[in-house]
Amino acid sequence: MFLTRLLSSIVLVIIALVTLLQGSYLLAAILLFISLAAYSELCKACQIHTGGKPVNPLEAVGAIGILVYYGIVVFTYSQVAQMLAVLFTMIAFMFVYVFTFPKYQAAQIMSAFFCFVYGPVMFSFVYQTRELEHGVYLVWMIFISSWICDTCAYLTGILIGKHKMTPKLSPKKSIEGAIGGAVGSALAGGLYGYFIVERVVPEQKITWIFAVIGAAGAAISQIGDLAASAIKRNHSIKDYGHLIPGHGGIMDRFDSVIFTAPMIYGLALLLIK
């Protein structure tokens, strides 16, 4: 299991390096695939899709909405159009609800829309961050703040963790670990900014900005991790899927990135001129 997980991690890192450095249509295509896979996993977890049956109208609406949304993100760069795509997808879900009534319950409609926004829409901010000015440097903060946080939180929790953060949801996670994860990500972000990005953006003091972004991204990434775990516990599943050997599904591996991506995007717009 460890070897499988290690090899999968190496492959994921290589894919991330290639796609994030290249950006553009390659990154968009990879994120579209990830988003469709994440939507499928969430639909199964939330019991919108039932095993052995073909894709139902709710899943079809979500998949079409994802394709339209990503087309708008990649080809129009209009945030108003993106918002309209999300709203019209919600209307399309309600259309199915009304004209197939009483086939679906209101909870299923709300779950389907949640699955559309939670995975695909939030994943799109990886692409949108990459497309910003200096985005080739900024986009790495999404992964630095989430993955460094995981490692530092784990190590800090083992060494000094005493106070449980969410004892019923994740008994092994501690408050000390959460703080250690945020501090570690802030330090990693600051070092990355100082040694690499300061030279590219000399007109701003990037080091402290990247430290702030790292800490904020780390804090929100932990919420993302816990939220994904809570959904699994609510629905009594161990993993969202089996797409990534040794890791589970897309949602199992990228649960923290989902929350970190829009946070980094927003902070980049606010703090970097």
pLDDT for res 203: 76
Same domain, 109 and 138: no
Q: Averaged over 127-138, what is the pLDDT?
A: 93
Same domain, 28 and 82: yes
Q: Under DSSP, is residue 110 helix (H, G, I), strand (E, B) or coil?
A: helix
Assess whether pLDDT exceeds 80 at residue 247.
no
Please report whether residue 251 resides in a domain: yes
| Beta-carbon contacts of residue 184 (< 8 Å; ≥ 6 apart) | 148, 149, 151, 152, 153, 156, 218
How would you write 54-101 as a 3-class SS string? CCCHHHHHHHHHHHHHHHHHHHCCCHHHHHHHHHHHHHHHHHHHHHCC
Same domain, 175 and 263: yes
pLDDT for res 170: 87
Assess whether pLDDT exceeds 70 at residue 157.
yes
Buried b vs exposed e over 186-195: b needs ≥16 C-beta within 10 Å? bebbbebbbe
What's the whole-model pTM score?
0.92
Same domain, 204 and 217: yes
CA 244, CA 242: separation in Å to the nearest integer? Answer: 6
Assess whether pLDDT exceeds 60 at residue 2.
no
CA 195, CA 193: separation in Å to the nearest integer? Answer: 6
The 10s digit of each residue's pLDDT in 203-229 is 778 899 999 999 999 999 999 999 989
Range of the domain at 261: 134-273
pLDDT for res 202: 75
Share of the chain above pLDDT 90, in %: 60
pLDDT for res 54: 76
Please report whether residue 4 resides in a domain: no
CA 39, CA 92: separation in Å to the nearest integer? Answer: 16
Please report whether residue 3 resides in a domain: no
Q: Averaged over 263-273, what is the pLDDT?
A: 90
pLDDT for res 29: 96
Long-range residue pairs from 187-196, CB within 8 A, at least 24 positions apart, any chain: 187/211, 187/214, 188/144, 188/145, 188/148, 188/214, 189/141, 189/144, 189/145, 189/213, 189/214, 189/215, 189/217, 190/214, 192/140, 192/141, 192/144, 196/137
pLDDT for res 51: 62
Assess whether pLDDT exceeds 90 at residue 12.
no
Please report whether residue 2 resides in a domain: no
Q: Averaged over 162-184, what is the pLDDT?
A: 90
